[in-house]
Amino acid sequence: MARKSEYTSSPHGRPAVFRVHPARRFEGKFPFDEQPKEIGCFSLDADRFFYDDKSQLKWLHMPENVNNVNFNLRDGYKVFRKRDDSVKYYIDELLRWILVNRKKFLLPGQDEVSDGAFPPNLHTDFVCWRGLLTKLLCTPYENKDGWLIAVTKFNGTYYLCEYDTPERIVERENMSERQDEMCYWGHKFEQYMVAAKPDGQPDTCVPVNNYEAFCLVVRRRLKEHSLVFAGKTDCYDAKEKCYVEFKTSREIYQPNQDRNLKRFKLIKWWAQSFLPAVPKVICGFRDDDGVVRRLKTYRTLDMPNIAKHIPNPWDPAVCMNFCDQFLTFVKQVVLKDDPKIVYMFKWYPRQDITWTEHPQDSKFTFLPSWFTNPDQQGNSGIKLETTQQA
């Protein structure tokens, strides 16, 4: 449980704020954390249609010489089919997967689900995207970007959904052509590194489309909290029999660049990969013209040790203890079990976490009626009789 000093009480008995800093308040033993378990997956095609299968899974294709590659990440930018970041998908794809796979949430002895009915509850505390949990893990050390997290309690489960902060919206709307292109580079790098089949070759001639995605669904426990989350996964390594994430980073020329990578990037890479137990990240180091010259593999469990020699290094125990205690805070704040009521949690660097309660059907309501109302499940855009193809 979180220490009492981390909360400031409000007149209505619930904690009003959650103190984040100093980060050392979360130092201590690494919290009890069960090994995550993959419980399913789904695919999103070029038109963002949902499929309860592995059709979008890609396979790792490593170059023979990782120290001598020539990947031009600018190729194809003009024909990039880019997803509209202003369109909010909320957590709809994950909810569709839950509807299709609702039997996976039954307790032992519950062998049947009434046809078309949703189970009384998921026997799960939290449901969200992996990216939201990644932000939470990094919060004690984040000094630039804040976040907004909406929470709704429905049938005993807390559903979490991230919203863009006003600052993020302004940043996106004022993004330069150069910044937009550099965002593309990561997608292009992935295209150089994957094939459609285990023995295939990368196809770098087709336009890049970031609507497509293969997503893992993972169950794990963090102390008293059970979590189910989903996240896009870049590819599968047939040789090592594991999933892999890709990253790009500017080539390191100066000691301060090396420190910045270890301080600001490795923590995010570690958090993103540690959550679903993806064991490695392959980074393409590029020049300022967007050309990758070399690759380096980082083992997820080695990342904290790589970073520990920098001044004031980040501590994975702090990250996990903070996440555990914030989730406890959410449980203490979100009391009303109503899919139309939203509690909005807000945080900015060097500030406390605050929250507000929003009434039914506010602009922040994000659970769709096809998920909460059994009579409208036919509007979900999926066939509920589809079975998981693992």
Positive or negative torsion for Cα 172, 173, 174, 175: positive
Q: Where are the beta strands (DSSP E) in the chain?
A: 7-9, 15-18, 37-44, 50-51, 59-60, 71-72, 126-129, 147-154, 157-163, 194-195, 213-222, 225-232, 235-237, 242-250, 280-286, 291-299, 342-347, 353-358
| pLDDT at residue 193, rounded to an integer | 98
Q: Give a yes or no: residue 46 inside a domain.
A: yes
Q: Give a yes or no: residue 28 inside a domain.
A: yes
Percentage helix, strand, coil, to 5, in the chain? 30, 25, 45
Flag whether the pTM goes above 0.75.
yes
Tokens encoding 162: 């991230």
Q: Which residues contact 141 (CB under 8 A, 6 or more apart)?
A: 23, 263, 267, 314, 318, 319
d(C-alpha 311, C-alpha 263), whole Å: 9
Q: Give a yes or no: residue 330 inside a domain.
A: yes
Positive or negative torsion for Cα 304, 308, 314, 318: positive
Tokens encoding 224: 């008293």
Q: Which residues contact 235 (CB under 8 A, 6 or more apart)?
A: 57, 58, 59, 60, 190, 193, 194, 243, 244, 246
Q: Which residues contact 173 (CB under 8 A, 6 or more apart)?
A: none
CA atoms within 13 A on the CB side of 169: 8
Q: Give a yes or no: residue 310 inside a domain.
A: no
Tokens encoding 193: 């590194």
By residue count, the chain amounts to: 390
Q: Which residues contact 327 (CB under 8 A, 6 or more apart)?
A: 125, 126, 222, 225
Place of tokens 């600052």: 167
Q: Give a yes or no: residue 77 inside a domain.
A: no
**Tens-digit pLDDT profile for the chain (390 aa)?**
344 445 555 546 688 999 999 999 999 999 987 889 999 999 999 999 999 999 999 999 999 999 999 999 999 999 999 988 878 889 999 999 999 998 899 888 776 555 444 656 899 999 999 999 999 999 999 999 999 999 999 999 999 999 999 999 999 999 999 999 999 999 999 999 999 999 999 999 999 999 999 999 999 999 999 999 999 999 999 999 999 999 999 999 999 999 999 999 999 999 999 999 999 999 999 999 999 999 999 999 999 999 999 999 999 999 999 999 999 999 999 999 999 999 999 999 999 999 999 988 889 999 999 999 877 766 666 644 333 333
Residues 286/251, Cβ–Cβ less than 8 Å: yes
Q: Phi/psi class of residue 71: alpha, beta or left (left: φ > 0; alpha: ψ in -120 to 50)?
A: beta
For 152, the 3-state DSSP assignment is strand
Residue 291 phi/psi, 5-degree rounding, is -110, 120
CA nearest to 161, candidates 372, 368, 369: 368
* Residue 377 burial (CB count, 10 A): 17
CA atoms within 13 A on the CB side of 104: 17
CA nearest to 54, candidates 385, 301, 378, 390: 390
CA 96 to chain centre: 17
d(C-alpha 79, C-alpha 210), whole Å: 12
* Residue 173 burial (CB count, 10 A): 9
CA nearest to 14, candidates 333, 353, 342, 343: 333
Q: pLDDT tens digits for 235-248?
A: 999 999 999 999 99
Q: Give a yes or no: residue 51 inside a domain.
A: yes
| pLDDT at residue 390, rounded to an integer | 30
Structurally, the chain folds into a number of domains equal to 1
| pLDDT at residue 42, rounded to an integer | 98
d(C-alpha 169, C-alpha 318), whole Å: 29
Q: Give a yes or no: residue 323 inside a domain.
A: yes
Residues 172/85, Cβ–Cβ less than 8 Å: yes
Q: Give a yes or no: residue 283 inside a domain.
A: no
| pLDDT at residue 378, rounded to an integer | 63
Range of the domain at 168: 17-68+84-106+118-235+315-379
| pLDDT at residue 181, rounded to an integer | 96
Cross-strand bridge partners of residue 163: 148
